[in-house]
Each structure stands twice: as C-alpha cells, then as structure tokens.
C-alpha cells in the first residue's frame, strides 16, 4: 500500500490487504459502500436510525467474517447479501413496519413536491402524503422475495445479475419476482394513476 493510495485499489485487492490485517483497506471498502448500504437498509426499515444501525452491523459482520470470504466472489455481492439478510431478519423481528414515505428524498427536500414544477400547497402535500402511504403499504404487502428484488432493482439500481447473486437465486427467478411485484403494485395502485 505504499506505492498507491488504498482508495485506488479494486475491491479484491482491498479485501486481500484487509485479510492480511490492514484495517485501513477495509475502511476504504466501508467508505466506498456505506451510502448504498444505508439506502438499502432505509428502504427496508423506513427509519433512519435503524438503517444506520443495520448498515453498521452489516459492515461489522463482513469484517468479522472477512477471513472466510472467497475471492472468487465479488465483495460487493457478498457484502450486500449480508446486509439484505440482516434487513430481512429485522423485518421478521419487527413484523409490519409503517413506511414513512415512498421516497426519502422528499423528506430531505423539506417535503416540497416537484410535481410539474408547481408551488407546494396543503392539498398537494396531503395528496402526496396519501400517495406515499399507499405505495408504502402496497410495497409492504408484497411477499419478502418480491419486495427485496423490487427494492434492489428499482431503489438501488442493481442489475438482475447482481440481485440474483445477493438473493442467491437464479436470474430467471429474480425476473419472475420482479414481474410479479410490478404486476401486484400496478393492480393495487391502479386507482392512483
């Protein structure tokens, strides 16, 4: 690590260095993936503090089990499998979780709606809140595998291939989960369109 900065290394090189005891190499991996990990955890929990806790727990477990990591797999896929499993366990423990909003960015923008560039009004905010609540309920009602595939694809932008690795399923199975999730959401949310 003396000739190059750790941030310039590929994931596999950083894992190898971390396995040899160089903690700063793992810290680079944490920095590289912490925002994505938080967003995935938030999509499952809809709670900022729980999302932080789950993403930190995922990194802790990854660090703890780093010696058993097989370099033939990608770190990204291996880590997100740990994170998704933690999130699914959280949901099982907590049962039904009320979704605050479909999109955290709405809250971060101060609740302002960007619908057709119009100025926010109480009616529009109420309607937006109702839509957000109904979308959250529809997502919540999906079976766990469909919801997980949908969140990873549509909220995190993962490819079918990566989702299949994370969920340890065949790509065809992931496509079926996504198709069924979209069909169910369309049916449940048809009156909103």
15-47 pLDDT, tens digit per residue, is 999 999 999 999 999 999 999 999 889 888 888
Q: What confidence tens digit (pLDDT) does each residue in 114-137 have? A: 444 444 566 666 666 677 777 778
Tokens representing 30 are: 């944490």
Question: What's the predicted TM-score (pTM) here?
Answer: 0.60
| H or E element in which residue 166 lies | helix 160-167
57, 68 contact by CB (below 8 A): no
Domains of the chain as residue ranges with CATH = 1-95 (1.10.1740.10), 121-193 (1.10.10.10)
- Count of CB atoms within 10 A of residue 186's CB? 11
**How far apart are alpha carbons 136 and 100 in whole angstroms?**
8
């Amino acid at each position: 690590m003396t000739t190059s900065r750790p941030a310039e290394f590929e994931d596999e090189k950083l894992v190898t260095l971390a396995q040899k005891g160089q903690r700063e190499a793992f810290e680079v991996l944490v920095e590289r993936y912490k925002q994505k990990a938080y967003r995935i955890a938030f999509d499952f929990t809809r709670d900022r503090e729980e999302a932080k806790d789950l993403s930190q727990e995922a990194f802790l477990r990854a660090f703890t089990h780093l010696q058993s990591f097989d370099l033939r797999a990608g770190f990204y896929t291996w880590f997100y499998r740990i994170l998704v499993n933690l999130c699914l366990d959280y949901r099982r423990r907590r049962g039904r979780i009320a979704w605050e909003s479909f999109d955290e960015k709405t809250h971060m923008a101060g609740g302002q709606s960007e619908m057709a560039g119009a100025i926010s009004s109480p009616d529009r905010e109420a309607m937006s809140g109702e839509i957000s609540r109904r979308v959250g309920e529809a997502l919540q009602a999906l079976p766990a595998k469909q919801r997980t595939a949908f969140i990873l694809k549509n909220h995190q932008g993962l490819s079918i291939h990566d989702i299949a690795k994370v969920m340890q399923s065949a790509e065809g199975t992931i496509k079926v989960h996504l198709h069924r999730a979209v069909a169910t959401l369309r049916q449940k949310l048809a009156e909103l369109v």
